[in-house]
Structure 1
Amino acid sequence: MPLHVPPAPAPALRSVLTALGSPTAVREARTPSLRAAQGPASPELPLPVYVLDRITESNPPSSARLTNWRFLVRCGDRAVAAADTMLTPDGWAFSHFFEGPYVKSTERALRQAEALPGSYQPRLLSVPELYMLTLWLHGDHTADTADGTPAADDILVPLAPAPPGIAAHRPHRAAELLPVLALRLTPSRAALLA
């Protein structure tokens, strides 16, 4: 399947390129793999990151808000880190570099997604209440990234590490996974009402 990666805002890309070109920013980053990387590092695969603050079982699914753009930082043939940008009053700006399991998991999920039928716009969807990150394959590959509503037929691929009981790298329709996530949060909410 062709993935239609949306273009990142130009200021977001420029801020990451500036940070990658700054020996101070790279040296002070908490990313040993980026500091130890041999050769030039380049930001690739910009993905808009949305946060789903409250999961509801309503139809249509809950809305998410765009919080940042994430770039995989590639050195040679592999991603060694990621770079996040954030929206400030002056526009998009570099936030930080990081590494960890979500970098490799994102790469793996994107490779997996390329084998699925159809065309999708890849995004990331964070569910902070469950400490969960998913690759969100939005069915409307021409959609404006300002729209943060998962469609029922969109595909969500939980990234590793996934919460207990949810299989990482297994694609789910949003209409199937979001209600499961809402039910997982219901017991803690019900306890508050008791």
Structure 2
Amino acid sequence: MPLYVPPAPAPALRSVLTALGSPAAVREARTPALRSVQGTVSPELPLPVHVLDQVVPRAGRAPRTRLAGWRFLIRGGERSVAAADTMLTPDGWAFSHFFEGPYIASTERALQQAESLPEGYQPRLLSVPELYMLTLWLHGDTEADASGGAPAPADLLVPLAPAPPGIAAHRPHRVADLLPVLTLRATPAPLLGSPA
């Protein structure tokens, strides 16, 4: 099934295009791959980046997410060479930074995997700071507002590489199955008393 990639806010896209057109912004970026591209580059596959604020539910509440920004993969030639993040400021959407690293190729791979699934999904990124983890969040409601919502039990999470130890990267998990594992991982171990 095709993925239903939500459109990014126009000001977010404009801010990335402006940064890509700025020799100073590209030169100052810590992205050798972006600086070395011959020819044109373009921002593609905008994905909303949500942050899971608390993996461990408190007072019986389900974990909550908040929109942290939009991420664009920057394509140069046949591959993505970097990514650009935007953030919401009091004045609206603004360019944040360029970066590169393993999550670029991992995101592309997870998106390709998702396109082969029988159901349609709205792709998002879900960051789990407590575990230093990033996942591709495949939201089942393809018409939903991409800026809000929480992972539904039937949604899929695909951990991106590098994933935390013991969690397989690029293996889709239903939220209802993976969230308890993440909760267990993020719960501090009880302190044991000293032996008598």
Bin the TM-score by the shorter chain. Answer: over 0.9
**SS of match in other structure, 2:42:** strand
Distance in 2 between residues matched to 1:69 and 1:9, nearest whole Å: 9
Alignment match, 1:9: 9
1:61 and 1:150 in contact (8 A); partners too: no
Amino acid at match of 2:135: T
TM-score by structure 2 length? Answer: 0.94
Alignment match, 2:71: 70
Question: What are structure 2's unaligned runs of at least 5 residues?
Answer: none
TM-fit CA distance, 1:77: 1.1
Distance in 1 between residues matched to 2:64 and 2:128, nearest whole Å: 12
How do residues 25-36 of structure 1 correspond to structure 2 at under 5 angstroms?
Answer: 25-36=25-36
Residue correspondences, number = 191
Distance in 2 between residues matched to 1:184 and 1:29, nearest whole Å: 34
Alignment match, 1:42: 42
**SS of match in other structure, 2:142:** coil
| Identity level (%) | 75
Note the alpha carbon deviations across 1:124-152, whole angstroms, 9 max, x for none. 00000100000000000100123230000
**SS of match in other structure, 1:118:** coil
User: Which of structures 1 and 2 has the bigger CA Rg?
Assistant: 2
CA root-mean-square deviation: 1.5
2:51 and 2:67 in contact (8 A); partners too: yes
TM-fit CA distance, 1:57: 5.4
Alignment match, 1:114: 115
Distance in 1 between residues matched to 2:61 and 2:17, nearest whole Å: 38
2:137 and 2:156 in contact (8 A); partners too: yes
TM-fit CA distance, 1:185: 1.3
2:122 and 2:141 in contact (8 A); partners too: yes
Alignment match, 2:185: 184
